[in-house]
Amino acid sequence: MRRIAIIGAGSIVFCKTLMLDIMATKDLEDTEFVLMAPSTGKTSQVKAFADRVIKENHLKSKVTITTDRRVALRGANYVITSFQVGGVSAFELDYKIPMKYGVDQCIGDTLGPGGVFRALRSIPVILEVAKDMEELCPNATLLNYVNPMAMICWALGETNVKYVGLCHGVQTTLDLIAGYTGVSKQEIDYISAGINHMGWFTELSHKGVDLYPLLREKFEQPEFYVNEKVRGEVFRHFGYFMTESTGHLSEYVPWFRKNQKALDEYCDEPSFGGETGAYYTWCTYVADKYKEQDILSEESAALPPRSVEYCAYIIEALETGRTFKFSGNIRNDGMISNLPAECCAEGAVFADRTGLHRTIIGEIPPQCAALNLTNINVQRLAVLAAKSGDPETVVHALALDPLTSSVLTLREIREMVTEMLQAEQEWLPQFGGRLPRPTPEIPIPMDLKRAEVPIDPALAVFSRFGELAK
């Protein structure tokens, strides 16, 4: 019986979805699920539901729960990670403190202050998981769902575990493209490449016919454009369609959330169209709702069709040898030649009985790579900060963040980072309470006389021009 350890199994709805997908796969019916979370409050609900599904569908699977990560990992064939360090309490600080400084986030889990601090909390934990795997299940494959995906997988790329990061942005964006073009999703041929939440459809076609002219035509029509203003605007100006929503993309670039005018024009749509705090509001609603009731107790035990999540399909391919192609997040190492080798890139990956295999995509359009690099710069420094516990590196990461730097000065960024490190220190033990160096204001009297110092030759030339102008 294959053993699947789910680390962070307290995510009730997501954990349930993945387990149902696996149990609905004929060749995976005989699976042992080990659900691990810091407490058994939620995992006991998931187990009770799963036991009911197993009984009513006459499956061979079984479910156990534990609060000990090492117990869960021992002898595992597959490890699924879906934890959120600090939960909604930490997320509230990720959202509200930057907002106080003027950094307006919609999602806040991938880049920006929210994404960086989520990485600072999560990377030490994922590295502990990897270390335990190297000891307790060295041949297991890790399927990661923890965000920020690119930063988590960048850190995993520096370990010895077999891993891949999984997201559903490509699948759901294909649904949108199918709706815009009127072409069945299953009949669209495509190449998607870049980084997680900022992949680019470098090719879109149907039976050999390029779909981009039709997609561009649709985005020039108000009734289509209004549904995806930010993604549509980037598409219009950079030439390629991206794999994440308006709400996400608005945070990864400097143009759409930097002031009220931009927010009003591009991010005013409801239902995750980019409105302020949309994901935080949703998460608090869900947390409050599930706190009061066991929602799984009333769920049907019938096995539904498999969801769009890749997890069950990958495990099926690794177990049976039936090849499965998907968009995965792995260490780049030449997959996309104009992105850094050491970064986490997202592109086509094939799974079969021999393992996970990247495809060599080559270069993506230079303007798309350039936008990716603005995010990769932040990711690199955030990973370094999470591993080193150096508060100055956190400042450097957010000073390079496209959204944060479009709103705040360097001094304000330093002050924001200091406040966030203080507020979240219970989840950031690697910093040991250390904070960025303070930079006091330098008062400049109105009647100040400049110090006698050598003048830069270039400035001297401009100064001479000024004298001549007089």
For 182-205, write each residue's pLDDT tens digit. 999 999 999 999 999 999 999 999
CATH of 89-105+167-430, one of 3.20.20.70, 3.40.50.300, 3.40.630.30, 3.90.1820.10: 3.90.1820.10
57 within 8 A of 303, measured Cβ to Cβ:
yes
Structural domain boundaries of the chain? 89-105+167-430
The list of the chain residues with pLDDT below 50 reads 271
Looking at the chain, the whole-number percentage of residues with pLDDT higher than 70 is 97
Are 202 and 191 within 8 A, CB to CB? yes
CA dist 13 → 18, 19, 28, 197 (Å): 9, 10, 20, 22
Rounded CA-CA distance 16/10 in Å is 10
Express the helix, strand and coil content of the chain in percent, nearest 5 each. 50, 15, 35
**Residue keyed to tokens 């490890």:** 79
Give the Cα separation of 165 and 330 in Å (integer).
7
Up-side HSE of residue 86: CA atoms within 13 Å toward CB?
23
What's the N-to-C CA distance of the chain in angstroms?
A: 88
CA distance 249 to 422: 29
- pLDDT tens, position by position, 2-43: 999 999 988 888 899 999 999 999 999 899 999 999 999 889
Let me know: does 421 contact 391? Beta carbons within 8 Å: yes
Tokens of 465: 């021009």
Residues across the chain: 470
pLDDT of residue 386: 98
Catalytic annotation, residues: 168, 252
Contact 94, 428 (CB under 8 A): no
Which residues, at least 6 apart from 125, have a Cβ–Cβ distance to it below 8 Å?
A: 83, 85
Q: In sequence order, what are the beta bridge partners of 330?
A: 345
Can you give the pLDDT at residue 330?
A: 98
